Amino acid sequence: MYSAVRTMNKKIVVIGGGHGQSTLLRGLKLYSKNLTAIVAVTDDGGGSGILRRDLGMLPPGDIRNCMEALASAEPIMTRLMSYRFTEGSLAGQSFGNLLLAALNGIMPSFDQAVAGLSQVLAITGRVLPVTNANLRLEAEFENGHMIQGESSICQMKRQEGCRIRRVRLHPDRAKALPEAVEAIRQADLIVLAPGSLYTSIIPNLLVDGIVDAIRRSRALKVYVCNVMTQDGETEGYTVSDHIRALFKHSCPGLFDLCLTNSSPIPPAVVQRYAQEGAEPIFCDRESVEALGVEIVSRPVSTVENGLVRHNPGHLAWELVQLHNQRNIRVVTAGPHRATHNQVEK
């Protein structure tokens, strides 16, 4: 069924970070060559964090994952990009991160280093850092405590035992990459990808220029909600809790639709996740609709090696179908998002 959809070449922008974004890109590249991935740059853990501290560069890991997802290069090059060293001082570091670090050293800016590596990998579409600014993420919890550093937020939340109230960027007026803003302006479909709510998705919305560009865009705007809650970020969250957090950090009505999963998850898998403090996200439809967002539930998840993931082919197919069915264009001009009564189909 999923392979029967004809290829569309609409302009699609995918905003996010982490594995959820790269998973979605693997599916979408089958349907459009006009893809733009806009990627968060607040990661400070793992190999990316080491390179940030040692070289003062932006984190390459999520950028690299997106380029690998869109790559059309020879298989050996793709394998080389994802290769991780296992010994010595480079243990745990990926070759792709190091290659991007080298390009960053000879290029005038990080986004140009990304563009250079994109040419080497012959990627479908574009991968853009949301900004060239060197950012740090700060979280404020409901008890008033605060912590800086993306990699520290989950651990701190477990210690505090309360929800995250808000996250902020430092510096707080970082400018979005102009190419990212222009891609949003020209898009036919804008997707907020699945991924860590507070550390992968929301940081993009805090960069100056991104929310305004989304609000002004006449594209169909879809938020793909996660399938499971995330220990250390969203324990106990429903679908409406995710949407409220997104609106709180941007503006009400930022997107038109929320795509949720309807595929059943095996009880044994649910039980294993429960032992780690995670559970399937409950779709509280009435609360979501009260926020002015339409829920669309589709079978888009799969289980791989005991882990619940979005199926890239199924998810991409459903998004393409939503665009083809809705083909929404906002009638009214100006900075404010139209209501459902102000669109033509």
Give pLDDT, residue 335.
Answer: 42
Question: Residue 249 pLDDT more than 80?
Answer: yes
CATH topology for 1-40+174-345 is Rossmann fold (3.40.50)
Task: Give the residue, 192 or 338, on which the prediction is more confident.
Answer: 192
Domain span(s) for CATH 3.40.50.10680 in the chain:
1-40+174-345
**Element spanning 197, H or E:** none
- Percent of the chain whose predicted confidence (pLDDT) is above 70: 92
Residue 329 has pLDDT above 60, yes or no: no
Contact 124, 81 (CB under 8 A): no
Residue 334 CB: number of other CB atoms within 10 A? 9
Which position has the token pair 């969250």? 237
pTM of the model: 0.91
Confidence at residue 331, expressed as pLDDT on a 0 to 100 scale: 35
User: pLDDT by residue (tens digit) across 274-292?
Assistant: 999 999 999 999 999 999 9
Q: In a 3-state reduction of DSSP, which class is residue 64?
A: helix
CA distance 117 to 239: 37
Report which residue type is found at 43.
Answer: D
Segment among 2-6, 59-63, 216-220, 319-323 with least mean pLDDT: 2-6
pLDDT at 86 over 50: yes
Grade residue 78 by pLDDT with cuts at 50, 70 and 90: confident
Give the pLDDT score at 133: 97
H-helix or E-strand spanning residue 13: strand 12-16
Lowest mean pLDDT among 230-234, 285-289, 320-324, 325-329: 325-329
**Residue 3 corresponds to which tokens in the numbers above?**
């392979």
Phi, psi dihedrals of residue 55, rounded to the nearest 5°: -115, -10
307: confidence class by pLDDT, cuts 50, 70, 90: very high
Q: Output the six-digit token pair for 125.
A: 């579409």
pLDDT (0 to 100) of residue 328: 45
Q: What is the pLDDT of residues 211-244, one digit of tens each?
A: 999 999 999 999 999 999 999 999 999 999 999 9
Task: Tell me if 196 sits within 8 A of 279, measured CB to CB.
Answer: no
Give pLDDT, residue 73.
77
pLDDT (0 to 100) of residue 333: 37
> Is residue 8 very low, low, confident or very high in pLDDT (cuts 50, 70, 90)?
low
